Each structure stands twice: as C-alpha cells, then as structure tokens.
Homo-oligomer: A and B are copies of this chain.
Amino acid sequence: MRLPKHIGIIPDGNRRWAKGQGMDKSEGYVHGISPGMSLYRMCRELGIGEMSFYGFTADNTKRPSVQRQAFTRACVAAVEELAKEDASLLVLGNTKSPMFPQELLPFTARHDFGKGGMKINFLVNYSWEWDLGYKDGAIGPGLKTSEVSRIDLIIRWGGRRRLSGFLPVQSVYSDFYVVDDYWPDFRREHVEDALKWYAAQDITLGG
C-alpha cells in the first residue's frame, strides 16, 4: 500500500468529548495525550517518515484561561512523553509571546531522542500569521516553518472540514481526511481507514 511520507494531525474535539462525558470542557485535553502516543507508535511501526501535530494555536489562547492552561499542560506533557521515545523532535511556534510554555523552549531546535528516526513537528502557540509573517497583505521575508516538508495526508478528528490555520504552505497539495469521532476517542481503525483512502487517491501535486 502506498503510504504518505508526511502526515499532519489535527486532534480536534477534546472539549466536545468532555462535555459528552459530563466533564468541564477543559478536562478533555488531558485525555488527548494517550491517543497521541498511540498514534505516534502506530506511525513509527508503519515507517512514516514525518508527522506534524497541531498542538495549540495563538488563536486558541484567547479561550478562557482554565482551558488555556489545560491545553498548554497537555501539550507540554505530550512533548515530554515523545522525548522518551525514538524521535527527531521539533517544537514550532511563536516563542516571543507569554503564551509559549517556557518548559518547551529547549525543544525549539530539532534534537534526536532515543534512536531518533521519525521527524515530529509539534506546533505550540503556532499561528499562520506568525508562520508567514503576515500583516495587512505583506508577508515574509521567510517562512518560519521552512524546515517542515510538504504534507501528503492530513487527518482531522472531530468532524470539522477545515484547516483552521494549519501550516498553509505545507498543506497546499495535502489530501484531507476527516474522522467524525472526537480525538479522545481515537482508534487505530481511524488511521487504517485514512491510509486506505489515501492509497486510493491519485497524486498530481496540482498538475
């Protein structure tokens, strides 16, 4: 089966999942860590070369502070968990804002952990405006994420059919697969189905 070289992950639906469980919205995020580790291990076993995780965005930080703190903690925990595995890990986002967690500063240069291997790009306090240096129609001079490669397949959990500002340049040719289940309800079959679907797509790169 033809596999994507680089998979983008939009792990949406944590708050709606928490609500459905009778929890406070903010309590959903911690339940997204274990799905992320399962997904990482699954992709590592498949030999996927690169993954980009949508942690949180500068837009997200405008939410109530109890939520902001909860998703920030979950992202810090996820990056620390990944650093115990085999991975070539890089955290990308606007570090010049107080919303960027200081604990993750050491990860903003790429390091190999364990035996290295799969490239993982973890977006933290990311925004497309920051990435493109966008303001009033002016952009540049550089793409902040220029070392993140083109994404072949984006999988979004939680049913929404949009990119929500996720890596616009790397996503120009991506095939986009939506899982209706919420991210904390992650199952291996979601990814298996996405990969089967991807293998059946033609790859034209716009041609």
Q: Point out residues on A near B: beta carbons under 8 Å.
A: 57, 59-60, 62-63, 127-128, 132-134, 136-143, 146-147, 160-165, 168-169, 171-177, 201, 204-207
What CA separation (Å) do A171 and B206 show in the bound complex?
A: 16
In the complex, what's the smallest C-beta–C-beta distance from A8 to chain B, in angstroms? 12
What CA separation (Å) do A62 and B204 show in the bound complex?
A: 11
Whether the Cβ atoms of A162 and B169 lie closer than 8 Å is no
What CA separation (Å) do A116 and B176 show in the bound complex?
A: 36
The complex is assembled from copies of this chain, and their number is 2
Whether the Cβ atoms of B137 and A139 lie closer than 8 Å is no
A142's partner among B59, B137, B201, B204 (CB-CB below 8 A) is B137
Whether the Cβ atoms of B174 and A171 lie closer than 8 Å is no
